[in-house]
A and B are shown apart, each in its own frame.
Chain A
Amino acid sequence: MNRFKAFVIKEFRHLIRDPRTVFVLFAIPVIQLLLFGFVISTEIKDAKIAILDFSRDDLSEGLVNKILASDYFILETELSNINQIEQAFRSGQVKEVLVIENNFGRNIVHDGAGAVQIITDASDPNIASLLDSYTRNIILDYQQEISNKTQAASTIIDVEYRMFYNEELKSAHLFVPGTMALILMLVCALMTSVSIAREKELGTMEILLVSPLRPLQIVLGKVVPYMVLSFIDMLVIIVIGHFVFGVPVRGATSLLIGTGTLFILLALTLGVMISTISKTQQIAMMISLVGMMLPTVLLSGFIFPLKNMPVVLQAVSLAMPPRWFLQAVKDVMLKGAGIAQIWHYLAIMFGMLLFFIMVSVKKFKIRLD
């Protein structure tokens, strides 16, 4: 155990003394996340909207005025029937249409409940969801105002939300799980494989092998520091995603972290496997970059939807660990899935993990070759 501890301490020293490594470990995840985040989402200001008010009574006009009085929205056009909605979006100017039901005011006064519908152009999913939440907030405010004014026990304005063009909001918020997959691959697979290959390249592996250290101790000693660091990276990404970009964590946090940990282990063993077949740091880096990063970006569904891929590439993507991770994380974070809904993704990842461990242990050499 002492041996192992000494090994882990040594690894941490290597890490700390190499500023480049520290940079890769901590600056890149944050930079990348912020880049992805800000490129995709922009602040809402003066978004052009259209209004389709079937009711045209005091209360509905009050609502419209309240929305337009905010800094966020500008009225582009007023519509008079449903068919114009599509047209308004097509023009490319209008990002949101607010539909107010017929007899909105009367319904509120009589039944204490009115209904509106928010329709957004979800071809830019992030903006769409931002518009939606801004509008909702205003409507909530308004609901409160009416309640106070009418002294009614409760007034409810039902908000129905619809998106045009991208109804499942497929890539919204996807950059957070995607960045997580990318960063964890980078930190775990790349850094581990490079650090083992470095021992080979510098000749220190020769001395480690001659020592009583077991191969498993050497490998675990290499893996532990990166496991700790990538765990921290994962938390940082989730926290930034949540508080800076408002990406929801709808499912259980523990499930999300558990899934992430499984993926970290998977990526680490992948790194160990790469290192068993590469003699130099450069080879390890090439294999990790070409073999891991590109598939993570291209074949996992992170950037390009899997459904639109040729069948061959879809088949290839089945073998990509990040694909299953992305699926699972997306479901947990965005859809609030529980373990019952994602267990098969986890099972596949676990299977891959066992496979990689087996191959690595088999391929790890107790001698030079």
Chain B
Amino acid sequence: MIIAENISKSYQENQALKSVSFNINDGELFGFIGPDGAGKTSLFRIIASLLLPDCGSLKVFDYDVVKQYREIRQITGYMPGRFSLYTDLSVEENLDFFASVFGTTLKENYELIKDIYIQIEPFKDRLAGKLSGGMKQKLALSCALIHRPRILILDEPTTGVDAVSRKEFWELLDGLKARGITIIVSTPYMDEALLCDRVALIQEGNILSVDSPGNIIKNYNKKVYSIGSDNNYRLLTDLRAYPTVLHAFAFGQYLHYTDSNPELNINDLGTYLESRNHSNISLQVIEPGIEDIFIDLMETVKVN
């Protein structure tokens, strides 16, 4: 159980976290979703006892991050956002080193990291600096796991990793979750939010909402329109000029549009767009995705 109460953190002028509170249950795969600069890394460092919060309290399995940091460091596996292993040591040497640091050996915990390590084992004599991005992530994950942590903190583990490796990486996380390890992960990719048990949407140091991805989508009560035409660029400008617009943004080859009026007549919008000389207009109501909801939440915060 991780319990955070009113955590704040500032760097000089810049307030990275604004009185953030949340709970993470044992064995949960918990995601923090938010853009760069939302405060995810600061929050993770506080959980890992690497950073002191300005105020508020945070407990990891009943250990206080400020007073009992030693205990926390025994049970935590931490993978920073930047690749932070020794590039001049080989894969195996890195693993051996971190195993010894935690008072264990690769052999002892081989079974835990087997699924991951097996993929990089053929390159075990290669220097870590010469691995590809996906391989580096797997090595870093192996190193973070080598001492059987109860809690795994992964700061943007899939940033800069190709789509296939990303998918594999999340499958590995699922396997670890099945072993009862509590996993906290942050990501800027919203599609990854769906793979978490619960997610916290975080922006500019505020947590906007905490729930399971399914509930977040289910409880969202605004209509989202998917709109396209021959000239999407002009379309976006025109939609944003519509009197009752809430927000409109490009999403793949269509635009996603939300109106501030829940009773909006779809034909009125169609007529408006025709009057602006758009051709080949496609206009339909769609199921909102997590991205739509997140953007909506962000916009709402900005307005407030």
Contacts and interface: CB of A to CB of B under 8 A. Distances in A.
Interface in A197-212: 202-204, 206-212
A6 B100 CA distance: 6
B50 A211 contact: no
A3 B69 contact: no
B188 interface: no
Contacts of B169: none
Interface string A353-369: 00000000000001110
A18 interface: yes
A2 interface: yes
Contacts of A206: 45, 50, 78, 80, 84
Contacts of A207: 78, 80, 84-85, 98, 143
Contacts of B78: 206-207, 210
Contacts of B51: 367-368
Nearest to B48: A210
A7 interface: yes
B88 A18 contact: yes
A5 interface: yes
A213 interface: yes
B114 interface: no
B246 interface: no
B52 A367 contact: yes
B279 interface: no
A368 B45 contact: yes
B50 A210 contact: yes
Interface residues of B, number: 30
A223 to B, nearest CB: 17
B203 interface: no
A212 B74 CA distance: 6
A212 B70 contact: yes
B107 interface: no
Nearest to A218: B101
A17 interface: yes
B50 A368 contact: yes
Contacts, number: 77
A203 B52 CA distance: 18
A14 interface: yes
B89 interface: yes
B251 interface: no
Given A10-B89, A206-B80, A212 B102 contact: yes
B170 to A, nearest CB: 22
A211 B103 CA distance: 10
B93 A13 contact: yes
Interface in B199-233: none
A354 to B, nearest CB: 27
B52 A7 contact: no
A210 B88 contact: no
Interface string B97-123: 110111100000000000000000000
B86 A10 contact: yes
A5 B48 CA distance: 25
A300 B111 CA distance: 59
B150 interface: no
Which of A18, A208, A211 has the most chain B CB atoms closer than 10 A to its own CB? A211
Which of A203, A210, A213, A367 has the most chain B CB atoms closer than 10 A to its own CB? A210
Interface string A6-23: 110110011001100000
Given A206-B80, A207-B78, A211-B73, A6 B50 contact: no
Contacts of A2: 100, 103
Interface string B45-85: 10011111000000000000000011001101010101111
B241 to A, nearest CB: 46
B96 interface: yes
Given A207-B143, A212-B101, 16 more contacts: A6-B96, A6-B97, A7-B101, A9-B97, A18-B88, A202-B84, A203-B84, A204-B85, A206-B80, A206-B84, A207-B80, A210-B48, A210-B50, A211-B101, A367-B69, A368-B51
Interface of B: 45, 48-52, 69-70, 73-74, 76, 78, 80, 82-89, 93, 96-98, 100-103, 143
21 contacts: A2-B103, A3-B103, A6-B100, A7-B97, A9-B97, A13-B89, A13-B93, A14-B88, A14-B89, A202-B86, A203-B83, A204-B86, A206-B80, A207-B85, A208-B101, A212-B73, A212-B74, A212-B103, A213-B101, A366-B69, A368-B51
